[in-house]
Amino acid sequence: MHPLLAQRRSLSAYLLFWAGLSAVPWVLIHSNAQLGALLLSLLCTVAFALATLPVWYLCRALPLQPARVWQVVSIHAVASAIWSVEFLVFAMLVAEPLALLPGASSLPAEVEKAEAALIGVGALFYLLAATFHYVLAELEQRRKAGEREAELQLAAQRAELSALRAQVHPHFLFNSLNTVSALIGYDAAKAREACLLLAEYLRGTLGGQEQALVSLRDEWALCERYLKVEALRLGERLQIEVAMEESAEHCEIPSLLLQPLVENAITHGIALANEPKPLRLRARCHDGRLTVELENGLDPAPQAQRRPGGLGIANVRARLFGQYGKDATLRVERDVSRFKLLLDLPATLPQAAEAT
């Protein structure tokens, strides 16, 4: 479809432009019947603008390329001659009924006198229409190229996010299997229970892995399944404190975003401590932003203070940038006895919740 026909505003602006050009034939006719000549020029020019809309397809079929310059020029020269004659013929046909207007009886004769000028105007108007459609074709081609580039970038972004999300599972399984292995050595019953909990967790991640975004409540529920596995190994050393505002529960976040952070807190913090260290989660929604704080205690002993960089924080930062760009941050705060992660991102709700 012609781009102008797809947008009424663009077509209206196009016709308004051509209506302004009707002053050219109106001046060239030199008619004593000013009103009749003006109506004739306006009708002929606007009709010519509509009739030359198919030139769009001719311009697309004949792109301006150095190797085809003579072919393009010759074809448009023939088309210009044809359209200029048609412009004159249409002007003569319109002049007959307009001659019935008061004082416009001489209009047909005046059009005949201006034949050469009207043919020149028709040729000029055709060249103007062809130029316009070449510019329009170039803009349309650039727009489509921009859309294709945006689609490719979106596909690459989705692939990158999927790859980052896929990294979470092997890392988690490695740590979880170490937990099961440790339990087998001194408590086979707990090891079996850990295997069942691990299977339950993996079943829960299957659905989440297919979704780009999940509610914070569902994401934390998945983390709690993982924490049940770790609780079998850590016992009373693992204490969990959750303070999640109701408004924050329904906010959507990238799926499997919190799990590596919780796993980090266990592996590099609580598991190294010799006494109970709380794992605290706080979440609130305010002014269109979702803030999530995840804090875990550290053993004040020097060997436990060294928290090695791992997959968790780097993975989450990369996923946040891929999903939100610079509109989301993950900040780290730590001292001798605690390690805190502050997650700040746009507060987005599911469409159903927003409608409610």
Asked if pLDDT for residue 161 goes beyond 60, the answer is no
Q: Nearest 5°: CA angle at 195, between 228 and 177?
A: 90
% of the chain beyond a pLDDT of 70: 87
pLDDT at 307 over 50: no
Across 74-78, 131-135, 295-299, least confident range:
295-299
pLDDT value at residue 271 = 81
What integer best gives the mean pLDDT of the chain? Answer: 83
Q: What gap in Å lies between CA 310 and CA 214, rounded to an integer? A: 24
The residue with greater pLDDT, 255 or 79, is 79
Q: Report whether pLDDT(182) > 60.
A: yes
| pLDDT at res. 21 | 93
Query: Minimal CA–CA distance to 322: which of 263, 257, 262, 261?
Result: 257
Upper half-sphere CA count for residue 324 (Cβ side, 13 Å): 21
Highest averaged pLDDT of the listed ranges 2-11, 179-188, 299-308: 2-11
At 276, is the pLDDT very low, low, confident or very high (cuts 50, 70, 90)? confident
**Residue type at 187?**
D
Q: Assign 3-state DSSP to the chain and report helix, strand, coil percentages, each to 5.
A: 70, 15, 15
Q: What is the pLDDT of residue 131?
A: 93
Tens digits of per-residue pLDDT, 38-67?
A: 999 999 999 999 999 999 899 888 888 888
Q: What is the pLDDT of residue 305?
A: 43
Q: Where are the alpha helices (DSSP H) in 52-68?
A: 55-61
Token pair 């030359």 in the structure block, residue: 52
The residue among 298 and 284 whose pLDDT is bigger is 284
- 205 residue type, one letter: T
Angle of the 115-186 helix axis to the 216-234 helix axis, nearest 10? 20
What is the share, in percent, of the chain residues with pLDDT greater than 90? Answer: 35
What's the pTM value of the predicted model, to 2 decimals? 0.54
Give 171's pLDDT tier (boundaries 50, 70, 90).
Answer: low
Confidence of residue 285 (pLDDT cuts 50, 70, 90): very high
Average pLDDT rounded to a whole number, residues 255-280 = 84
pLDDT of res. 351: 62
Q: Check residue 189 and give its pLDDT.
A: 84
Q: What is the pLDDT of residue 152?
A: 72
Separation CA 165–CA 209 (nearest Å): 8
SS3 of residue 12 by DSSP = helix
Is 216 in contact with 285 (CB distance < 8 Å)? no
The residue type of 314 is: A
Q: For residue 33, is pLDDT > 90?
A: no
11 class by beta-carbon count within 10 Å (0-12 exposed, 13-18 middle, 19+ buried): middle
More confident residue, 311 or 224: 224
Please say if the pLDDT value at position 234 is more than 50. yes
pLDDT-derived band at 304 (thresholds 50, 70, 90) equals very low
- Model pLDDT, residue 306: 45
Cα distance between residue 241 and residue 207, in whole Å: 26
Provide the b/e sequence for 25-56 (b: ≥16 CB within 10 Å).
Answer: bbebbebebeebbbbbbbebbbbbbeebeebb
- In the predicted structure, residue 267 carries a pLDDT above the cut 50: yes
